[in-house]
A and B are shown apart, each in its own frame.
Chain A
């Protein structure tokens, strides 16, 4: 079936360093790729998303890149801060024509002060 693989499962970085999380999806019809951040005990919240007609999107310290040919997309966080510590989930959905959404298993990011 359709799936989304996310790596790494755990990532530890020093404050100020960059963090990169990678996802690979299987359904070539997927065209919407959001990233969610979930802090401990809280609900997931969208931090950035990208649609299939765009290769890269940036919002301050956060950027997402998409390679549709290779079916993978990545989250880049620069100048990490302790408050970036959380679990990050990537997801893929078909967008137009459906609402089926497949999430990755998550990456636990630790930012050490």
Chain B
């Protein structure tokens, strides 16, 4: 089954404790992206990747890192999480830049 998976689905952590949210797709898509969703603000793009080893900043990249060492995986790294990074995070993938983005199930992160 074609899908985008994210882990973990829920995470409660404390300020400053490094964490990684994994994202994997099995559709051989070149394009992948991370978004955060906050009430009243819609989806805001954090980082995106157009291919292996090719990443670029989205609208709200501060406090986040990404890497794309393999085509299928695009992890999101929070080196020192802060409470303002409490949010719902979605990973998405797409075959081209003008095609459907398929979203993962979301990761709800709470930083205390």
Contact = CB atoms under 8 A, between A and B. Distances in A.
B103 A95 contact: no
A53 to B, nearest CB: 11
A105 B48 contact: no
A62 interface: no
B62 to A, nearest CB: 14
A46 B90 contact: no
Assign chain B's interface to a size class. Answer: 20 to 34
Interface of A: 1, 6, 9, 31-32, 34, 43-46, 49, 51, 89, 91, 93-106
Given A89-B43, A105-B42, A99 B59 contact: no
A96 B98 contact: yes
Contact of B98 (A6, A51, A89, A105): A51
Contacts of A98: 50, 56, 97
Contacts of B31: 99
Interface SS, B side? strand
A102 B45 CA distance: 7
A89 B97 contact: no
- The 9 A-B residue pairs with the shortest CB-CB distance in the complex, in nearest-first order: A43-B103, A95-B98, A103-B43, A105-B42, A103-B42, A32-B98, A46-B100, A99-B48, A99-B97
B45 A101 contact: yes
Interface string B34-48: 010000111111001
B22 interface: no
A100 B43 CA distance: 12
B108 to A, nearest CB: 10
A105 B41 contact: yes
A33 B40 CA distance: 20
